[in-house]
C-alpha cells in the first residue's frame, strides 16, 4: 500500500507515526480516524467549518483527546458527523469496522 500511503501523505491526509514512518499493522484510534475524515472532507470542500474547543464541552473525556486531534474532532462534532455515545467521544479507543 506504499503508493496509496504516499499519495495520502502528499495530500496532507495522514502523517504516519513520526520519523517519516507508518505502522500499517497498528490499530487506528477513533481520534485518528476522525482527523483523517476531517482532512478528507476539508480537502474536498465538503466541510469548511471552523470549530473551537467549546464544541467538546459536553463530553466527559475531552481531556483525553490529543492536541493534534482537538480541532478536527471539534469540527466533526459541530458538523454533526461525530456524536460520541452521548457523554463521551472515546478518542483513544480503537475504531471498529462499523465506524
List, for residues 21-49, the tens digit of each pLDDT value.
Answer: 888 888 999 999 999 999 999 999 988 87
Q: What is the pTM of this model?
A: 0.89
Q: Which residues, 6 or more positions from 97, have their beta carbon under 8 angstroms from its beta carbon?
A: none
Q: Which three cell numbers stand for residue 25?
A: 499493522
Res. 60 pLDDT band, cuts 50 70 90: very high
**4 has a pLDDT exceeding 80:** yes
Q: Which three cell numbers stand for residue 35?
A: 482527523
Amino acid at each position: 500500500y506504499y503508493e496509496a500511503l504516499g499519495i495520502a501523505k502528499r495530500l496532507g491526509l495522514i502523517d504516519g507515526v513520526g520519523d517519516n514512518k507508518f505502522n500499517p499493522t497498528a490499530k487506528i484510534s477513533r481520534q485518528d480516524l476522525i482527523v483523517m475524515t476531517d482532512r478528507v472532507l476539508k480537502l474536498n470542500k465538503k466541510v469548511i467549518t471552523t470549530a473551537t474547543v467549546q464544541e467538546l464541552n459536553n463530553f466527559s473525556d475531552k481531556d483525553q483527546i490529543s492536541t493534534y486531534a482537538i480541532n478536527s474532532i471539534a469540527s466533526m462534532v459541530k458538523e454533526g458527523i461525530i456524536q460520541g455515545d452521548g457523554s463521551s467521544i472515546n478518542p483513544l479507543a480503537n475504531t471498529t469496522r462499523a465506524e
